[in-house]
Chain A
């Protein structure tokens, strides 16, 4: 409040300028003082922006397709270099290894059997194999017994190694020729690729789209049902309240995850992986807490004087509930929703991890993580990319929720 001469601004008795500040504006001002909440708001906004604009980015060629599988580009590590170079690098490393294998095999006949078990296409497995060659006693101890088989196996193995060596060499040659002509090999996978040669960045973004969508839609459904049930229950009271709340109690007493899993499996044959079934399963149960929270708020507010005043002014029941009571509970609802959304994303991830959630070709952070876990030791980026994206998002949502709670609650002790 400051004294001014502005003519078109509101003034009080002393001609002091009074700006109409709504409680929302006030809350927003408090939120802006909370640095972590503002940062989180930016991050969440960024996520949502990216998620919304993903198809645009893809058609603009900035983002690779999340479904396109390029077999040549399997399991590429995160890098800023074109994929062609990376593939050549990988193949050359492989060739080098194979040649070393052959050389060491010629030198030392005895370890052939071990080589047979170490036969693998994965580069990292070859490192294990190398260790075996260098490592002293153990392989030697193991080779004593199958001595007689050696003559049967070794020519075949040597042949296959030679064969692969030849194939790899020709592939490298072909690639060297194609690398400049085929645009596919100039693709850059900043966050690497998965085991089917799909871009991890695109998959994480599209996974995020699904996860965030599930979070938002689930929260909206839960909030809508919860507000409706909660406000009716709280305002009408009496037998209605009793009936609705006992129903909520019964639903509460059922094990939540079990029900969701059962619903998902019942719908399984037709709707496995259908996001809509997943929405229904999650939203069906998650409105319970919101309904209780809203009911409590409405009960504490419905006897307040402004409600009585509104009634004495002739307002109808729906008008009182929706115009006078709900706006007053909105703060709590908003805070609850921001904290509910991460929990939805977690639940969806959990279901997807169990294989009950979203399924191919669509992906969510949960499915991506569960895919990533399979090759975790060799190709950590396939786990870390979706896991970190998800964690950062959930972290920010939780911080935002905390910030909103402090901002919207004028009595909060933590206000900045």
Chain B
């Protein structure tokens, strides 16, 4: 199992020092990513999904941010201990990212060609002409019509969906091992969402790229991911395969999340379920289960101590006192 793990995150902690106190955005997250796997990270806003992945790339703004502990092993090497010079060779080359808002993640002043060629030349050592050919090829793969002509356009001449395609083409242009897609479809409308997800799925399968898909949309992960991590307040509360998570959710939070998805096959008269309350403010959070105020199965111990992660079966974990021993 371990031999084809390409990215291993161990007990990653990322804190932000704010005036109000210490914000533990990511507090001990661990996961493995295997070659060609698609891993979903699901959670509400502010649960630390994006910060986890920025920390993996060592892109956390320092200060106020600080990677307080843990390891990120990429092919056995700890990214967090790498000097900037080296990690720049990995960013965009071995691990690349797609961002949430395609409208703002392309530099408005530079042609698409300039931006794509820049990355390829930087990492692949190609000359500009080859890099341009490669870019055109990637754009074609990403479904841009007549890319050899449109490559010299500026970002504002593309629609949102097209820009996201350009971003995907750019992110995959160096054949990375890992693609981190940070809510790639949130800013797009529904028809385009499906196309873009299909594109990511198709391209990464073809290129053998592992994907970390960050999203708050359960529908997206259900169709895309092999494995799913559910995050809450900076920690992973449940993990398992897509079937396990959707078929047999264990953690009350996961259950709540799944229940709150509107479904066409259920009675339409019924009020849509929602999890009561707000996700907690993770500044100076006591060592309790951060979900207990909203949890309808809360036990007394939930208020006192964070539950240890219980391994139900291989790769199937849940952090809840309902399943932990020694409650």
User: Which residues of A are at the interface with B, using a C-beta cutoff of 8 A?
Assistant: 8-13, 15, 18, 20-23, 238, 303-306, 308-316, 323-324, 327-328, 330
Contact = CB atoms under 8 A, between A and B. Distances in A.
Interface string B107-123: 11111000000110011
B154 A313 contact: no
Interface stretch (B73-81, B98-106, B228-236): B98-106
Interface string B141-164: 000011001101110110000000
A109 B97 CA distance: 105
Contacts of A310: 107
Contacts of B38: none
Contacts of B146: 10-11
Interface residues of B, number: 39
Contacts of A323: 110, 118
B107 A314 contact: no
A9 B153 CA distance: 11
B153 A10 contact: yes
Given A314-B93, A314-B119, A309 B99 contact: yes
Interface in B59-101: 59, 61, 63, 88-93, 96-97, 99-101
Contacts of B170: 313
A324 B108 CA distance: 9
Given A22-B154, A313-B92, A328 B105 contact: no
25 contacts: A8-B149, A10-B146, A11-B150, A15-B145, A20-B152, A21-B154, A22-B154, A23-B109, A23-B156, A306-B104, A308-B105, A309-B106, A311-B59, A311-B91, A312-B57, A312-B91, A312-B99, A313-B118, A313-B171, A314-B89, A314-B90, A315-B122, A323-B110, A323-B118, A324-B110
Nearest to B170: A313
A22 B110 CA distance: 8
A314 B88 contact: yes
Q: Which of B97, B104, B109, B167 has the most CB of A within 10 A?
A: B109
Q: Which of B97, B145, B149 has the most CB of A within 10 A?
A: B149
B99 A20 contact: no
Nearest to A6: B149
A307 to B, nearest CB: 8
B138 to A, nearest CB: 13
Contacts of B59: 308, 311-312
A133 B286 CA distance: 106
A55 B243 CA distance: 84
B101 A313 contact: no
A327 B153 CA distance: 17
Given A8-B149, A314-B89, A238 B99 contact: no
A167 to B, nearest CB: 73
Nearest to B158: A12
Given A10-B146, A312-B91, A313-B91, 12 more contacts: A11-B149, A305-B101, A305-B105, A306-B105, A308-B105, A314-B90, A315-B88, A315-B122, A324-B107, A324-B110, A327-B107, A327-B109
A20 B104 CA distance: 19
B150 A10 contact: yes
A318 to B, nearest CB: 12
B273 to A, nearest CB: 33
Query: What are the 5 closest A-B residue pairs judged by CB atoms, nearest first?
Result: A313-B92, A10-B149, A314-B92, A314-B91, A312-B97
B107 A328 contact: yes
Contacts of B107: 306, 310, 324, 327-328
Nearest to B153: A20
Contacts of A21: 154, 157
Contacts of B99: 305, 308-309, 312
B63 A238 contact: yes
B145 A12 contact: yes
Nearest to B97: A312
A371 B215 CA distance: 74
Contacts of A306: 104-108
A23 B97 contact: no
Contacts of B104: 304-306
A311 B105 CA distance: 11
Contact of A18 (B57, B97, B101, B150): B150
Contacts of B111: 20, 22
A327 B89 CA distance: 24
